[in-house]
Amino acid sequence: MDERDDDLHTSIHATHPVVGTELTFGSVTDKISAIVLKRKTPIGWFVGFAVSFALFQLMLLTITKMLFVGIGLWGVNVPVAWGMDILNFVWWIGIGHAGTLISAILLLLRQKWRTSINRFAEAMTLFAVAQAGMYPIMHLGRPWLAYWLFPYPNTMGIWPQFRSPLMWDVFAVSTYATVSAMFWFVGLIPDFATLRDRANSKSFRIIYGMLAMGWRGSARHWHRYETAYLLLAGLATPLVLSVHTIVSFDFAVGIIPGWHATIFPPYFVAGAIYAGFAMVLLLTIPLRKIYGLESFITMRHMHNMAKVMLATGLIVFYGYLIEAFFGWYSGNQYERFMIWNRMHGPYAPYYWTLILCNGLTPQFLWFKKIRSNLLLLWLISIVVSIGMWLERFVIVVTSLHRDYLPSSWGMYKPSQWDWGMFIGTIGFFFALLFLFIRFLPMISIFEMRTILPEAEVDEG
């Protein structure tokens, strides 16, 4: 590293440290574990949990009704047989991308700032993937036969259709869910031990004790732990790219104008990371305020996440431009019509709102002043989340509703039960998050300790 780089590095560190300089080993542990063990649960927690739990009931109601009457309950019908059930699946799974990116890729790239947000982002990932997984299973119509998707020696003597990307999806999403859960759990083990040792009630000691799996923090434990964690990070890294690539294949392999495009995999992956970081910002900004975690999640994190959002947002916008360009450049009348229809057809307002949300809004992040204003950053994250939802709506619905044959054209309108399911999964997601911040350390205690100034060893 030459001198100039060194200076630059120090200056960023000085203005926006990764961690508050006043923290010590002891205070880090105290502060984070107190949220779970000592501090009185804020009244807002109960209100928030009650509201999200109530919304979760809406999801259960929708699913129950769907089991009785079938997926005709939702607004899907030919030609738009993929409606909100599939677009919400893609939306949720996209949100679930920030977690692995932060925990695995940034770990391998030795980005220290990941430490304050990785636990939370991983939890968010897991909960988002849980919501995502429900949609395609319910979309099957007969969800009790969902196990048919797995290749097992069944009495029908047949395998699933391995040539279908819908099949690959099953593997991609289930692998992603498993590896994310493993990564999250392994990362939690030393902290479970801390909670076990600090818990006052016996039942909490037993529960955290079981989860800590006999962790004593010996040198051998740490050695094995570090190896396992690195291996899991290596396993998780390709998944960040593979999952949304395969989700994009669900569309790109189909010969529908607007789906059948080679740009889809990279553009979907970028969109997923974009949506994921928006969701992390959306949740951490209020959370750090409420729980007073400003010295853990500093402005440095906010800037970095905003920058990742800007970069991936630009890739996504490039994707939109290329889609339009190729629609024209293909010379194919169906492709041309598809782009024209997106911009001028019945769903044109959705398209232009999408461009506004995902193309123009992130441009504000070029400005340091805006990145430093948490309220604006929070609002931008909401706009981006809505934009990513619109993106999937535009891809799924506008491509399908104008088929090759004008005689089969139709319109799609989500039914009230579509919204019931969507709002219900949001409720479920937040209910899980509320439980998480109440019962588990939302910031990795032991990893935070390693990045404190106190942990710096002078090797000179």
Partner 1 sequence: MPQIFRHSTNYLARTTIFGAIFILFAALWVTAEIARSGWNTGAYIERQQPIQFSHKHHVGDDGIDCRYCHTSVETSASAGMPATAVCMNCHKQIWADSPYLKPVRDSFKDGKPLEWIRVHDLPDFAYFNHSIHINKGVGCSTCHGRIDQMPVVSQTQSLQMEWCLECHRAPENYVRPKEKVFDMEWRPRNSSKAEIAEGLDLKTKYHIQKPDVLTSCSTCHR
Among 16, 65, 112, 205, binds partner 1 (CB under 8 A): 205
Residue with smaller CB distance to partner 1, 128 or 170: 170
Site residue total, partner 1 (CB under 8 A): 13
Residue 156 interacts with partner 1 (CB under 8 A)?
yes
Contact predicate 276/96, CB 8 Å = yes
* Nearest of 411, 390, 259, 406 to residue 327 by alpha carbon: 259
- 138/179 with CB nearer partner 1: 179
- Residues 243-272, one symbol each (x = binds partner 1 by CB under 8 A, - = not), give ------------------------------
Check binding of 145 to partner 1 (CB under 8 A): no
CB of 213 to partner 1, least distance (A): 7
Question: Quick one: 202 or 413, whose CB is closer to partner 1?
Answer: 202
> Quick check: 209 binds partner 1 (CB under 8 A)?
yes
Could you say whether residue 349 binds partner 1 (CB under 8 A)? no
* Binding region for partner 1 (CB under 8 A) out of 152-160, 219-227, 409-417, 452-460: 152-160
Residue 50 or residue 206: which is nearer to partner 1 going by CB?
Answer: 206
Spatial distance between the Cα atoms of 26 and 23, rounded to a whole number of angstroms: 8
Closer to partner 1 by CB, 105 or 181: give it. Answer: 181
Q: Which stretch binds partner 1 (CB under 8 A): 45-53, 77-85, 155-163, 304-312?
A: 155-163
Closest CB to partner 1 among residues 108, 206: 206
Q: Which stretch binds partner 1 (CB under 8 A): 151-159, 173-181, 276-284, 351-359?
A: 151-159
By the rule CB under 8 A, 406 interacts with partner 1: no
Our finding on whether 153 is near partner 1 (CB under 8 A) is: yes
162 interacts with partner 1 by CB under 8 A: no
Question: Exactly one of 68, 144, 152, 162 binds partner 1 (CB under 8 A); which one?
Answer: 152
Residues that bind partner 1 (CB under 8 A): 152-158, 196, 205-206, 209, 213-214
